[in-house]
Amino acid sequence: MELFGDFIAGFGIALTPEHLFYALVGCLIGTLVGVLPGIGSAGGMVILLPLTFQMEPTGAIIMLAAIFYGSYYGGTITTILMNVPGEVASVATMQDGHAMARQGRAGVALSIAAIGSFIGGTLATLALVLMAPALSEMALAFGPPEFFALMVLGLATLAFLAGSSMPRALAMAVFGLILGSIGTDPTMGSPRLTMGFVPLLGGLDFVPVVMGLFGLSEVLINAENPTPVLTKKDIKGLYPSVRDFRQSAGSIVRGTGLGILLGLIPGTSQALASFVSYGVEKAVAKRPEEFGNGAIQGVAGPETANNAHANAALIPLFTLGIPGSPSVAILLGAFIINGLAPGPLLFEQHPEIVWPIICSMIVGNLMLLILNVPLIGMWVKILQVPTSILSPVIVLFICLGTYLVNNSVFDVWVMILFGLLGYTLRKLDFPLSPIALTLIVGPLMENAVRQALSISRGDVSILFRSWLACGLLAMAVFVLTLPLWRLRAIQTRGALGRDVED
């Protein structure tokens, strides 16, 4: 009953004109970010972070969360109309979505994707409402060894899914851990790995690093291979028929379930959810030969799954304080910037902030459904803006966003350094998402392991004593050794590669 009361009270705050405005702006910006090929949700969120600096915490996070889930709606538009995925999570939709567009059914494909995304996103948010408080209470039973084990499992999953080589992903994850340990030691107060740079005493800031790795490297890659500009713009027949609805209903239900389930596991991505959903839809289809030639189930399932995942991925963040993907890590960064610590105590200590954010996600998903279909014409026009204008504008926001974090030119140099590093790493097929994730998770992980070893006076067996920690670590070992066992899943690892960067 208390849960229901909090939920209703959250709606009261989320529906104030100010918060509705932030959600609307976030949804529009998120869709724009998704529409523009090449800017992923992580890059888009980090570029637009400065817009939230002067806002109150609830408004700031409502807007960033709306950018996050809005980008997955936008990604579909580019995918279906241009056959270029706006987001990697939309790749699974590409073939059937674009085939529908070629058959003159682009409007139907976009509408069904928007409807599926709305249903998946909303049900995943309701799952968050129902599960988060219970999970938070369970998480209170977690001690340092359990937290450490959970983070190891998250990193193992990420390493398994990121990139075409697990050693490369692991190397990048450990590199992120090292970056996260730069600064003043939290216990003894002594400087670590600062190389004499005074601004590094406070630690390496997340924003310049991510802005460089994701934002600047994207601009540099774009300079080599510009994304195409949309030339055709005729879209007819926006609304699906009853037959279309009937054919898509099962796919939407299955996509929702899969997205929510996978969203609960840290380290999985929206792309994984959409790929799995596509596979499931093809497997259960009565006429699988239609897949690839404009099967509406090939649009409905993956699009529903990726949005359900995007919303469900916030469950581990809200309950355990562990981000599952770089985009969620940026959201965690926004919480921290605003003086909030996601985790088991968030619902207890800040219900006035967390419930309106959750409620605004339901409102935001509804806004996206109502706005996106009629606004398709506007997004199509934006797709016609040449990259010669878009790239400089992106650089403007990268510079602004980096400088404004601390009003420090040092951050600009850090961003350039990580931009060049990100560009080189991407060209050499190294995944970037493990760096971003471990940069955030690293200090939490170090804290957990140091606390555990302090409690046990240096006895390492404390990390395996409880059945929960032991089970989580065993799962991590299982995930890390999967390639050695030559399971079928090994083939999908590379394929799901860079998806986790979104």
Partner 1 sequence: MVAGLSRGTLESLALNVPNPSKDPRSSTNTAADDGVPGHAYRVLVLAFLVGGLLVCRTAIGLTYYTQMGPGPGFFPFWAGALLSLFCLMLLIQSFRAQIPAFDIPEKGPMLKIVVTIAAIAGFGLFIERLGFVLTMFGVLLALLYVHGCRMLPTGLVVALTGSLGVGFAFSRWLGVFLPPAPGAVLQFIGL
Question: Which span (59-67, 131-139, 165-173, 343-351) binds partner 1, by CB under 8 A?
Answer: 165-173
Whichever of 151 and 358 has its CB closer to partner 1, that residue is 151
Q: Which range in 17-25, 108-116, 164-172, 469-477 contacts partner 1 by CB under 8 A?
A: 164-172
Q: How long is the chain?
A: 502
Buried b (16+ CB within 10 A) or exposed e, 36-55: bbbbbbbbbbbbbbbbbeeb
Show contacts with partner 1 in window 261-280 (CB under 8 A). 275-276, 278-279
| Size, binding site for partner 1 by CB under 8 A | 108
Structure tokens at 171: 């190397």
**Minimum CB distance to partner 1 smaller for 223 or for 345:** 223
Residues 472-501 that bind partner 1 (CB under 8 A): 488-489, 491-492, 494-498, 501
By CB under 8 A, which span of 39-47, 135-143, 250-258, 362-370 interacts with partner 1?
39-47
Could you tell me if 107 and 115 are in contact, meaning their C-beta atoms sit under 8 angstroms apart? Answer: no
Hey, what are 13's tokens? 């705050």
- Shorter beta-carbon distance to partner 1: residue 176 or 267: 176
> Pick from 18, 424, 471, 477: which binds partner 1 (CB under 8 A)?
424
Tell me the per-residue interface mask from 340 to 379 with partner 1, x by CB under 8 A, - otherwise: ----------------------------------------
Residue 62's H or E segment, with its range, is helix 57-82
Q: Is 305 in the site for partner 1 (CB under 8 A)?
A: no
* Least separation in angstroms between CB 468 and partner 1: 22
Phi, psi of 143 (to 5 degrees): -100, 180
Is 415 a binding residue for partner 1 by CB under 8 A? The answer is yes
Candidates 1, 2, 4, 54: give the one binding partner 1 (CB under 8 A): 54
Q: Confirm if 129 and 3 have CB atoms less than 8 A apart.
A: yes
Q: What are phi and psi of 192, to 5 degrees?
A: -130, 135
Q: Which of 450, 465, 466, 470 binds partner 1 (CB under 8 A)?
A: 450
Q: Looking at 126, 192, 378, 468, which residue binds partner 1 (CB under 8 A)?
A: 192
Buried b / exposed e across 405-443, counting CB within 10 Å, b at 16+?
A: beeeebbbebbbebbebbbebbeeebbbbbbbbbbbbbb
Least distance CB 95 / partner 1 (angstroms): 3
Largest CA distance in the chain: 70
182: left (phi over 0), alpha (psi -120 to 50) or beta: beta
Residues 281/321, Cβ–Cβ less than 8 Å: no
The nearest distance, CB 137 to partner 1, in angstroms, is 29
CA 26/CA 39 separation, integer angstroms: 15
Near partner 1 in 171-190, by CB under 8 A: 171, 174-175, 177-178, 181, 185, 187-188, 190
Residue 312 vs 398, nearer CB to partner 1 = 398
- List binders of partner 1 among 132-161 (CB under 8 A): none
Nearer to partner 1, 60 or 135 (CB): 60
The answer to the question of residue 403 lying near partner 1 (CB under 8 A) is yes
Q: Determine, following the binding rule CB under 8 A, whether residue 7 of this chain makes contact with partner 1.
A: no
Rg of the chain's alpha carbons, rounded to an integer? 22
For residue 289, state whether it binds partner 1 (rule: CB under 8 A). Answer: no
Cβ at position 205, least distance to partner 1 in Å = 15
By CB under 8 A, is residue 387 in contact with partner 1? Answer: yes
Q: Is position 336 an interface residue for partner 1 (rule: CB under 8 A)?
A: no
Q: According to CB under 8 A, which residues from 56 to 95 bind partner 1?
A: 83-88, 91-92, 94-95
Q: How far is CA 249 from CA 116, 235, 256, 470, in A?
A: 9, 24, 11, 41
Q: Is 293 in the site for partner 1 (CB under 8 A)?
A: no
Dihedral sign for Cα 300, 70, 87, 74, please.
positive
Residues 425-444 touching partner 1, rule: CB under 8 A, are 425-432, 442
**Tokens matching residue 122:** 């909303």
Q: Quick check: helix, strand or coil at residue 372?
A: helix
Binding letters toward partner 1, positions 219-248, x by CB under 8 A: xxxxxxx-xx--------------------
Q: Is 282 in the site for partner 1 (CB under 8 A)?
A: yes
Residue 92 contacts residue 275 (beta carbons within 8 Å)? yes
The answer to the question of residue 51 lying near partner 1 (CB under 8 A) is yes
Structural tokens at position 450 = 């140091």
Residue 132 · residue 347 · CB < 8 Å: yes
Rounded to an integer, what distance in angstroms lies between the CA atom of residue 339 and that of residue 186?
17
3-state DSSP assignment of residue 35 = helix
Pick from 46, 129, 170, 334 the residue near partner 1 by CB under 8 A.
170
- Token pair for 11: 């709606």
Phi, psi of 418 (to 5 degrees): -75, -25
281 neighbors 301 (Cβ within 8 angstroms)? yes
Per CB under 8 A, the list member of 10, 26, 30, 38 interacting with partner 1 is 38
Determine if 216 is a binding residue for partner 1 (CB under 8 A).
Answer: yes
Interaction of residue 286 with partner 1, rule CB under 8 A: no
Nearer to partner 1, 51 or 129 (CB): 51
